[in-house]
Amino acid sequence: MISFTRWTTVEEVVEIPLAFPEFTYSLTPIEKLPSVLDNKEYFTDVLGAVTKISDALPLRPRSQQVHTMKRTVTVCDESGASLDVTLWGERATSFPAEQLHKDGQHSPQIVIFVGTLVRGYAGTISLSGGSSCKWYINPDVPEAKKLIASMKSVHQPVAHAPQVKYSEPRTSVAEHRKVSDIKYLHPFKNKKVEWLVTVKIMKIDKSWWYESCKKCFRTTRPHGNTYKCSNPTCSTISAPSPRYKLVIIAGDETGDTEFVMFGRIAQRLIKKTVDALIANNPPGFIPDEITRLLEKVFTFNVCFTENTISSGNVSFQVNTIVAEIDDGNPIPLTPVGSQSSSAVLSHHAGTSVECTPEKDSDFTLPSP
């Protein structure tokens, strides 16, 4: 993983050195993966023999209003320890599943996955492969040769995982509502329900970022010469990571209320990283990139924040920025490579959706 800063210089090398490696990786054994769980500072590379491949399936994550593709590749190491590698989006569709499944009927198929992140859910460790993920199939490297030699005597044909249909609530479109329709609802009875609202930004809180825990994204507190996570179930002690927490007052003709957006959602709206704004602006100053959002109109996918229930102060968490409204016309703001359904931008009522947040969601509310 390469980290670029404002002091980084890049020089093109026209003539590639003969000793330049064809494969670049730094392997982590499967049994060592828990030590780097939820670490987003570095990517993880893993070697394994493929045992099972699923179809590429459409799935709507909580952080998006559109579908993305998902495929799971199961690998094992020399000891037989198994690991799921989940590929997302273009990585799911470009993986050579059919050819690898065919070749895997007769001989072990060894793959090095690079550029992945380690995730944990319900006590199970897995790898997540997004746009940064690549793979080397049966590479001519010592580690792969050693694994294929050990697997030949115990080889089983690569299995095909049957397609699983997801329940309808995960793919339903949220219902479009006015602010007054949702502001006075019972937050406990509607704590997992999402709505679409079209609102104008009227006020921006001066506190637009915070020092977050790198592992769980909660607020950190000074702890000697470093910082400690305020989440009692985490309590990680390390250097914090700056993260967006953009609090705004926005509304429509029926009223206004508070909205909160975090991390990548806020960055998608502001179009600059939080580190860049901190470096280029004095402390306590709201950058122009944020104040320019005033008086602009957006369609958000929102739900009640967890703090609404615990504190009694009504606020809504922005799960997705669906579109910016320019002179009455919607301009989709979905990520590059995804397509927004026309139903998403419709002002007609659809079906409200209930979603369970993923453990590694980018929108977990930090402690006050």
Same domain, 282 and 195: yes
pLDDT of residue 245: 94
Same domain, 276 and 252: yes
Strand-pair category, 297-304 with 315-326: antiparallel
Same domain, 211 and 226: yes
Same domain, 258 and 319: yes
Same domain, 331 and 350: yes
Q: Which of 148, 166, 184 is the last residue of a domain?
A: 166
Same domain, 195 and 100: no
Give, for 64, the enclosing helix (H) or strand (E).
none
Look at the chain and report how many structural domains it folds into.
2
pLDDT of residue 115: 93
Domain extent, residue 216, equals: 169-354
pLDDT of residue 2: 74
- Say if 13 falls within a structural domain: no
Token duo for residue 112 = 């090095």
Closest residue by Cα to residue 304 from 359, 340, 357, 225: 357
CA 152 to chain centre: 37
Kindly report the CATH number assigned to the domain that includes residue 126.
Answer: 2.40.50.140
Q: How far apart are CA 295 and CA 226, in angstroms?
A: 39
pLDDT of residue 58: 86
pLDDT of residue 329: 60
- Say if 24 falls within a structural domain: no
Residues 6+ apart with CB under 8 A from 52: 72, 73, 74, 158, 159, 160, 161
Same domain, 180 and 129: no
Query: What DSSP designation does 77 have?
Result: -
Same domain, 303 and 246: yes
Mean pLDDT by 10 residues, the chain (368 residues): 80 87 91 84 92 88 68 93 93 94 94 93 86 94 94 90 52 81 92 91 94 86 88 82 94 96 91 91 90 94 88 90 76 44 37 35 39
pLDDT of residue 64: 56
Same domain, 127 and 191: no
Token duo for residue 303 = 């739900």
pLDDT of residue 332: 56
pTM over 0.75: no
Around Cβ 252, how many Cβ atoms within 10 Å?
15
